[in-house]
Amino acid sequence: MFYGYKNILGLCLIIIIIFVDFFLSKVVSNNENKNKYLFLSILLSLSTLILFKYANFFSSVSLKFIELLAGKKLEKQLVSLTLLPGISFYTFQSISYMMDVYKKKILPEKSILNYSLFLGFFPQLVAGPIVNAAHFLPQIEKLKSIRLQDLYLKKAIYFFLLGFIKKSVIADNISVIVDQCFHIDFIHVLSSFSLFIGMLSYSIQIYMDFSGYSDMAIGLAYLFGIQLPENFRYPYLSSSITEFWRTWHITLSNWLRDYVYIPLGGSKKSNLDTYKNLFLTMVLGGLWHGANWNFIVWGGVHGILLCLERIVHKKSDIRPDSFLLRNIKIIFVFLLVSLIWILFRAENLEFALKYFQNLFLFKTGLELGYTKLNQFYLILGVMFLSQVMGKKFENKLKHFTEKDSGLLFYFFISILIIGSILLSGNAKPFIYFVF
């Protein structure tokens, strides 16, 4: 009902995938011709994803090619389909389930209701985290004997409120700066410094927006007695691109590693094959985010950087970084990742190139204004301070939400609720809802 409220077609598709997976998984588990049935299941999931997510993109590319051959501009788009919410997430869960059954990592699920809950669990259905069947399905069995007092109520409140603050207080407030800097009418008149602030602001916005949703999903899941996997682990405190991808959108990184990178050959063969597999995996990861050349280039750039890091590490001695050197690396990686985020935020490659051009011209122009600059500096400081403190006192925070801390916990939560209501910005849609 949650998923089909405004999109009955999307509900029908996920129901079809649930039934096909459920019955084919039993065949794949016991049949000698299991390759054929695995192929059928993955074909259904990928066909659904390609049709509703990439048909418009391929149509646009084909149209431009036809226009080039015809020598004139055609006004009508060949195909125009609406993207179904969450399709990128549940199709990946479907594929991973079938692959795990095929490799005998898990047994096929006996209950179609349990499998339906796994594929259509509403807190994480539309924007993740991407859940592994081996992690999720055993928890459903435990729910049969769970008591009300066994539910993670304090964790649920903490994570949901944490996500709400990230989204409504930080991401939505800083989005005002992002929207101005990435507007086509402002890109040529804003100073390079303002565009630099806009670049960093988007880096903060997408992190707080997406990790905020993940935290809220984790909090909601705790209310139902389900523990979802961690999706972010202080990614902007990473001292390398490799570390960044181990801490950013962790469930997608793990999925790409297990079901794309390793099946391609991983790092088992030559160095050249390893770099090729790594690059292709990141390009596919970029394409997963959206049917646009921006995302493909974005993924490709990250793939090249990951390859370069592997080359450098192979040729140099790995020594522990000093405190100063590690912090210099953290700042550098944050600026580099923020720079690449421009590709992610821009409407198309042409706009991204214009942004880069105006950013590196070091030109004067229209400034953002005293209020917006102060807002940016405050949010930037709060974000990094909270990351550093969160990482340093991680165990104490975990103890605070798990053990009996009495009235102190609820007093702390009350203060956060009041603060989040007073400081919330104008509500904006979650960024990853379009993926």
Instruction: Of 51-60, 91-100, 279-288, 378-387, give the lowest mean pLDDT range.
Output: 51-60
| 183 included as an active-site residue | no
pLDDT of residue 75: 62
Per-residue tokens: 193: 């410094």
Cα–Cα distance measured from residue 349 to residue 296, given in angstroms and rounded to the nearest whole number: 10
Number of H helices, E strands in the chain: 20, 0
Return the bridge partners of 435, or none.
none
pLDDT of residue 9: 75
Cα–Cα distance measured from residue 54 to residue 123, given in angstroms and rounded to the nearest whole number: 25
Catalytic residue among 135, 289, 302, 399: 289
pLDDT at 27 over 80: yes
**pLDDT per position as a tens digit, 335-370:** 999 999 999 999 889 999 999 999 998 888 888 888
pLDDT of residue 80: 63
pLDDT at 276 over 70: yes
User: 40 pLDDT band (50/70/90 cuts)?
Assistant: confident
User: 395 pLDDT band (50/70/90 cuts)?
Assistant: confident
Which is more confidently placed, 372 or 269?
372
Per-residue tokens: 411: 């007093």
pLDDT of residue 268: 82
pTM for this prediction: 0.89
Query: Nearest-CA neighbor of 192 among 367, 372, 371, 58?
Result: 367
Contact (CB, 8 A) for 331 and 317: no
* ∠ CA 242-248-253, rounded to 5°: 75
**pLDDT per position as a tens digit, 76-112:** 665 566 667 778 888 899 999 999 988 889 888 888 9
pLDDT at 247 over 90: yes
pLDDT at 1 over 60: no
Burial of 260 (0-12, 13-18, 19+ CB in 10 A): middle
Share of the chain above pLDDT 90, in %: 39
Cα–Cα distance measured from residue 355 to residue 349, given in angstroms and rounded to the nearest whole number: 10
Cα–Cα distance measured from residue 403 to residue 386, given in angstroms and rounded to the nearest whole number: 22
Cα–Cα distance measured from residue 332 to residue 336, given in angstroms and rounded to the nearest whole number: 6
Whole-number Cα distances in Å, 95 to 48, 49, 131, 286, 291:
12, 11, 11, 18, 20
